[in-house]
Chain A
Amino acid sequence: MSQPDVLNQAFELGFTYTRSTGPVIGRFFTELRNRNIVGIKASDGRVVVPPMEYDPDTAEELSEFVEVGQQGEIVSFAWVKEPREAHPMDVPFAWAMIKLDGADVPMVHCIAAANESAVATGARVQVVWADETIGYITDIRCFELL
């Protein structure tokens, strides 16, 4: 008796739908793809980058976009001596809260630096763009010290 044929079906584990990022996050990502950075004005006028859909204090829907700079200042940082496999760099680097010029609220991203002593609170940094921008937060590959 011959071996019965094994039933076979290709299967890819993943979501079978795409999700719209909406008018606020979508706008931010579209701008990133074009190598621009935009924030949004919160209820109290503070410029929030990356933009939020709603004000966390008043719950007001936000819509007033503001273009911000591609340089900024380190508000705080953590020095990663031993990067993890999932981390964006495989050499020591810093995670940082960076307040971009024209923004009032810092954003979290990574900084490429030669060593820990090169990084300091208050130091100036600028965006390094990915070779190809596709509308992801990782279009900003990292920041580098000025």
Chain B
Amino acid sequence: MEDRIEIRNVNKFYGRKQALKNVNLTIERGMFGLLGRNGAGKTTLMKTLVTLHKKDSGSITVCGIPVESAKEIRAITGYLPQDFNMYPSMTVWESLDYLGVLSGMERKLKRERMEMLLKKVNLTEQSRKKVGALSGGMRRRLGIAQALLHDPKVLIVDEPTAGLDPEERIRFRNLLCETAQERIVILSTHIVGDIEATCEKIAVMNEGEILWQGTVERLLREAEGKVFTVQVENRELLRVKEQYVVTGMVAHGTSTTVRLVAEKMPGLGQAAEAEPNVEDAYIYCLSSHGCEVMGGEG
């Protein structure tokens, strides 16, 4: 069985609104990041991969199995949705046990994996705690445990770090990286930091389209010479924001250091080229593809 997901010319409509536009992607073993704004179509694509949505056209194969073979796909995929919960009256252990039964797992194997996964996600001590009493971070970790319970070849996680504190976020990213060593892991997120810390290969999505795909390194390379810092008087800020895509600002009394993305060195005050980070590169990618980017607003 090949360790690859092939998505070819996939389209999906919600009534008249096209949620996926001719999506083409090849995803191989390891961490793969799907980056895009809220509403870019990431969740629709993820749900289509795990058979919770049907595509209107195109083809998808997951490890050689067409997505239409729902039962087989469900057997080899693990899914952590963005918005989920478990029966609050069940304990952590009972919840995993219940989902394991729904996955048709053999009793002994299920018990072994539950113990192993609870240890891995650091929830062993909470195993007898009711799910309703868990913190957001703990619930997310339980979420990843349930997604890995039946040892899937593909793990799909949708916005997993939203709402987590920095410490929990780092812990969660590390957990994902560990699991990606032996399977395909797709991380769908709008948080650039998550991608930067975990993924080697990514795709950028916007309005249902794949704008760009490749390695993070290439994304950064494409933004080289396009990111600048410039020191401007505060009264000049509004004009700068109107003219350029601003990715960061640091205030110093009456002046501000602005980090911006532009095709060439801006003719403003003390401008200097800066080394792009993934956030800059992502913003540059969006703006270079004609997407409206409100970098300096808010």
A binds B: no
